[in-house]
Copies of this chain bind each other. A is one copy, B any other.
Amino acid sequence: MIKELTEKQKNVLQFIFNKIKNDKLPPTIREIAEEFGFSSTGTVRDYLRALVDKGYIKINEGKARAIELVKDAFRIPVLGAVAAGSPTLAVEDIEGYVDLNDLFFSDADIFALRVKGDSMIEAGIMPDDLVLVRRQQAAEIGDVVVALIGDEATVKHLVREGKNFYLHPANSAYQPIPVNEDVSLIGKVITSIRRYS
């Protein structure tokens, strides 16, 4: 289990946290010492040991700057259920942890597209949503795909009727678009994201 930190230990952890965020590089022991005015590297070592013991960081011994934040202490939990008792949220059922970094460090060819129009609104894809698209020529029936029709990119369901394929909107106000030589498949929607202001 993750144990409580003292105020000073929290400050040191926060500094490491910020360094990784801003410099994209964990600090050295001496950089930590300098930040807090410690004249001895041993002091920092004591702090790091405490943070390791309490489950907040891991240290890869011998390597320079090898302080790693322990994920479970920082990642956002995905909750399957939330139990009562405010102001503290009792975490009853953690499905897992969100780590969107995986998406961004994927080696696949991925890009994001801002959705225009309401043609997929019944599939929960609204105007101004962001869809992450993996570029690929192939797609399966039922996939949400991005296709180029002439010069315009469009997000649609790929469906099949008999021997013909259609780009099917999820909005009864729009007509399906037959897939022909004017239509080229760009990729498959793998994620949709919407931000609320």
Contact = CB atoms under 8 A, between A and B. Distances in A.
Interface size class of A (residues with CB under 8 A): 35 or more
B195 A76 contact: no
A106 to B, nearest CB: 9
A82 interface: yes
Interface of A: 17, 20-21, 23-26, 28, 60, 63-66, 68-69, 74-84, 86, 89, 95, 98-101, 103-105, 110-114, 121, 123-126, 129-130, 132, 135, 143-144, 146, 148, 150-153, 184, 186, 188-196
A16 to B, nearest CB: 12
A36 to B, nearest CB: 19
B80 A114 contact: yes
Contacts of A20: 24
4 A-B pairs with least C-beta separation: A82-B153, A64-B64, A124-B126, A100-B100
A125 B193 CA distance: 11
A83 B124 contact: no
B21 A105 contact: yes
Contacts of A151: 83-84
8 contacts: A25-B25, A75-B104, A86-B186, A95-B114, A121-B124, A124-B129, A189-B196, A190-B195
B66 A25 contact: yes
A135 B66 contact: no
Given A25-B60, A79-B112, 15 more contacts: A20-B24, A21-B105, A25-B25, A25-B65, A65-B65, A76-B132, A79-B111, A82-B113, A82-B148, A82-B152, A84-B148, A98-B132, A100-B101, A100-B103, A193-B193
Nearest to A123: B126
